[in-house]
Structure 1
Amino acid sequence: MAKPIVIGIAGGSASGKTTVAHALCEAFENGVVLLQQDSYYKHSDLPFEQRKQINYDHPDAFDHDLLVAQLQQLIQRHAIDVPIYDYAEHNRKVQIRHVKPQDVIILEGILVLADPALRDLMDVKLFVDTDADVRVLRRIQRDTQARGRSLNSVIDQYLTTVRPAYLEFIEPTKRFADVIIPEGGQNRVAIDLVRTKIAATLRHRGEIS
């Protein structure tokens, strides 16, 4: 059986990475699995108030070893148990998500292109490049409506950790991308081109007709 195609999608917070990932998932229906780097935030035994102060946009916030190991297992056609992250509690849940291997694996997250071990496992590397003002407005809307955050906390987090981390750690990973997608999920042309390339590769491997 052929090796699955691994697609990495990076970009700043609220850049549209998830929208791009879901658009590709829809294109391949049941033959794709989506992994999100956010699932691999480290478990913390710190009190809640201290967990709130962690810089979640720093590479050290993620359990890279577990992510690499589980991605390798999926590539080897083994099922995995993925952690589930609770944004309101700033910690992992007790529950896990059982994920079966598929022909296409999409890995989405702010820093998936920053780790050489992850990049070496990818066949296609994408970077979603969206203007900072659009990203911050989307983040405010998302975090206040879906993650139970206050407006002041979102703004404070953006200024103290999100923006500095983007400039230091995330934006520089654009140089590793095979394709840069401006404006994320709104760029249907770029998404269609990537989808067509993946479909052609799968046909060449005999995975789809």
Structure 2
Amino acid sequence: MKRPYVVGISGGTASGKSTLARWLEGELGDLQVKVFHMDEYFKPDSVRPKATAPVTGNIYYDDNCPETIYAGKLREDLSQAMEEDFQLVLVEGLFALWYDWLYEQLDLKVFIDCQADERIVRRLRRNMAERGLSFEEIAGVYLDMVRYRHQQYIEPTKWRADLILNGSSPSSLANGLLAAFLHQKAGA
């Protein structure tokens, strides 16, 4: 059995990681595709790390550091998927290019680069609509913690990517080329 082609998709909060992964899954529907969304591996509140905001001193659940993910469970699930009949495996999330053990398994590393102002607007829209959070709650966490964690953990992984996509103005040409490339690599 042939090993699946494995792609990591990273980028900042609300940069378009999940959107790209869903689009690729649909676009490559003739292949056996497995998508791992790292958000599904967040630890529950009872064991999730907390952090103190560097400026205000407020304490938050820290969803923007690598310790917030059950990395061991993700590793197990990915290992199992590698033994199954998938042609393409997509791993999308903030830390898809962070963990060395995962990075070493990736055949292609993608980073979606999106301006911070656009990401906060997207995060506001998403979290207000889907999670019922207030503007103040979302903006407070972003300004107190998320932007600092982005600089600490996410932005440096951009330089580990093979391909950087424009998340502010997604290109149908670039996305189409990526899909064609993945079809050729995974379907061969």
Task: Find the residue that maps to 1:146 and give its secondary structure.
Answer: helix
How far the C-alpha of 1:185 sits from its partner, in A, is: 7.3
State how far apart, in whole Å, the 1-side matches of 2:117 and 2:187 are.
Answer: 40
Per-residue CA shift, 1:12-56, capped at 9, x if unaligned? 00001111111111111152121100111113337xxxxx92110
How far the C-alpha of 1:116 sits from its partner, in A, is: 0.5
State how far apart, in whole Å, the 2-side matches of 1:74 and 1:185 are.
Answer: 32
How far the C-alpha of 1:187 sits from its partner, in A, is: 1.9
Which stretch of the first structure deviates more once superposed, 194-203 or 113-122? 194-203
- Percent identity, aligned pairs only, is 30
Instruction: Tell me: CA distance 1:184–1:26, structure 2 relative to 1, closer, same or farther (3 Å).
Output: farther
State how far apart, in whole Å, the 2-side matches of 1:29 and 1:170 are.
Answer: 30
How far the C-alpha of 1:203 sits from its partner, in A, is: 3.9
Amino acid at match of 1:39: E
Amino acid at match of 1:13: T
Aligned residues between the structures = 177
Find out whether 1:6 has 2:26 as its counterpart: no
Paired residues of 1:6 and 1:122 also in contact (CA < 8 A)? yes
Superposition misfits of 4+ residues, deviation over 6 angstroms: none
Paired residues of 2:4 and 2:86 also in contact (CA < 8 A)? yes
- TM-score w.r.t. the length of structure 2 is 0.88
Paired residues of 1:17 and 1:185 also in contact (CA < 8 A)? no
Q: For residue 32 of structure 1, what is the aligned residue in structure 2?
A: 33
State which of 28, 36, 58 in structure 1 corresponds to 2:65: 58
Instruction: Tell me: CA distance 1:8–1:154, structure 2 relative to 1, closer, same or farther (3 Å).
Output: same
Find out whether 1:165 has 2:149 as its counterpart: yes
Per-residue CA shift, 1:127-171, capped at 9, x if unaligned? 000111110000000000111111100000101111001011000
Task: Find the residue that maps to 1:152 and give its secondary structure.
Answer: helix
Q: For residue 49 of structure 1, what is the aligned residue in structure 2?
A: none
Q: For residue 79 of structure 2, what is the aligned residue in structure 1?
A: 72
Paired residues of 1:9 and 1:108 also in contact (CA < 8 A)? yes
State how far apart, in whole Å, the 2-side matches of 1:160 and 1:62 are.
Answer: 20
Amino acid at match of 2:110: L
For structure 1, which runs of at least 5 residues remain unmatched after alignment? 47-51, 78-100, 205-209
State how far apart, in whole Å, the 2-side matches of 1:179 and 1:26 are.
Answer: 21
What's the RMSD between the two structures over aligned residues? 1.8
Paired residues of 2:45 and 2:61 also in contact (CA < 8 A)? no
Q: For residue 50 of structure 2, what is the aligned residue in structure 1?
A: none
Alignment of 1:88-167 (within 5 A): 102-167=86-151
How far the C-alpha of 1:193 sits from its partner, in A, is: 1.4
Paired residues of 1:34 and 1:106 also in contact (CA < 8 A)? yes
Task: Find the residue that maps to 1:53 and give its secondary structure.
Answer: strand
Instruction: Tell me: CA distance 1:184–1:36, structure 2 relative to 1, closer, same or farther (3 Å).
Output: farther
Paired residues of 1:8 and 1:122 also in contact (CA < 8 A)? yes
Per-residue CA shift, 1:52-74, capped at 9, x if unaligned? 92110111111111111211110
For structure 2, which runs of at least 5 residues remain unmatched after alignment? 48-58
Amino acid at match of 2:79: Q
How far the C-alpha of 1:184 sits from its partner, in A, is: 6.0
